[in-house]
Amino acid sequence: MMKRTLACSLLTLVLVSSSQAEAPVVVTEPSFNFGFVPQASTLTHTFWVKSTASEEVRITRFVPGCGCTKSSLPDSTIAPGDSVRLDIIFASGRFRGAVTKKPYFYTNLADERVAMGINAQVVNDTTKWAPIRFRPLKLDVSQFTTRPRTKAKFFLDNLSETDYEISLIYDAGRSFEVELPRKIKAGERVEGIVTILDDAIETSFEQSFTIELNDGLKTRLSLPITRMFRPPGALGQR
Q: What is the pLDDT of residues 183-206, one digit of tens each?
A: 999 999 999 999 999 999 999 999
Q: Using a pLDDT cut of 70, give the percent of the chain over it.
A: 87
Distance CA 142, CA 226 (A): 7
3-state secondary structure of 138: coil
Q: What is the rounded average pLDDT of the residues 54-59? A: 94
d(CA 136, CA 96): 19
Q: Does 171 score more than 90 pLDDT?
A: no
Helix (H) or strand (E) holding 12: helix 2-21
- Report pTM: 0.85
Q: Give tens-digit pLDDT for 144-168.
A: 999 989 999 999 999 999 999 999 9
Best CATH choice for the domain 24-122 from the list 3.40.50.261, 2.60.40.10, 3.50.50.60, 1.10.340.70: 2.60.40.10
| Average pLDDT of the segment spanning 98-104 | 94
220-234: per-residue pLDDT in tens?
999 999 999 998 865
Residue 123: name the closest of 134, 112, 139 by CA: 134
What is the three-class DSSP state of 145? coil
How deeply is 132 buried, as exposed, middle or buried, from its count of CB atoms within 10 A (0-12, 13-18, 19+)?
buried
- Top pLDDT among 52 and 130 is at 52
Region of residue 65 (left: phi > 0; alpha: psi -120 to 50; beta: else):
left
* Domains of the chain by residue range: 24-122, 125-227
125-227 belongs to which CATH class? mainly beta
Q: How confident is the model at residue 71 (pLDDT cuts 50, 70, 90)?
A: confident
Q: Do domains 24-122 and 125-227 have the same CATH topology?
A: yes
**Other CB atoms closer than 10 Å to residue 220's CB: what's the count?**
21
pLDDT digit string, tens, across residues 103-137: 999 999 999 999 999 999 999 876 667 799 999 99
